[in-house]
Amino acid sequence: MPMAIRNIMTEENPVLRQKSREVVLFDDRLFELLDDLNDTLHHANGAGIAAPQVGVLRRICLVEVVKGELYELINPVIKRSSGKQVCEEGCLSIPGRSGKVERPKKMTVEAFDRYGKKRSYTVTGYAAVAFSHEIDHLDGVLYVDKLVLDEGEA
Query: How confident is the chain (154 residues) per 10-residue block, as mean pLDDT?
Result: 88 97 98 98 97 98 96 98 97 97 98 98 98 98 92 52
Sign of the Cα pseudo-torsion (147, 126, 43, 71, in order): negative
Q: Is the pTM value of this prediction over 0.75?
A: yes
Residues annotated as catalytic are: 134
CA distance 56 to 99: 26
- pLDDT of the residue at 1: 60
Those residues whose C-beta lies under 8 Å from the C-beta of residue 22, and which sit 6 or more positions away, are: 58, 59, 75
- pLDDT of the residue at 151: 57
Domain boundaries, the chain: 14-146
CATH architecture designation of domain 14-146:
Alpha-Beta Complex (3.90)
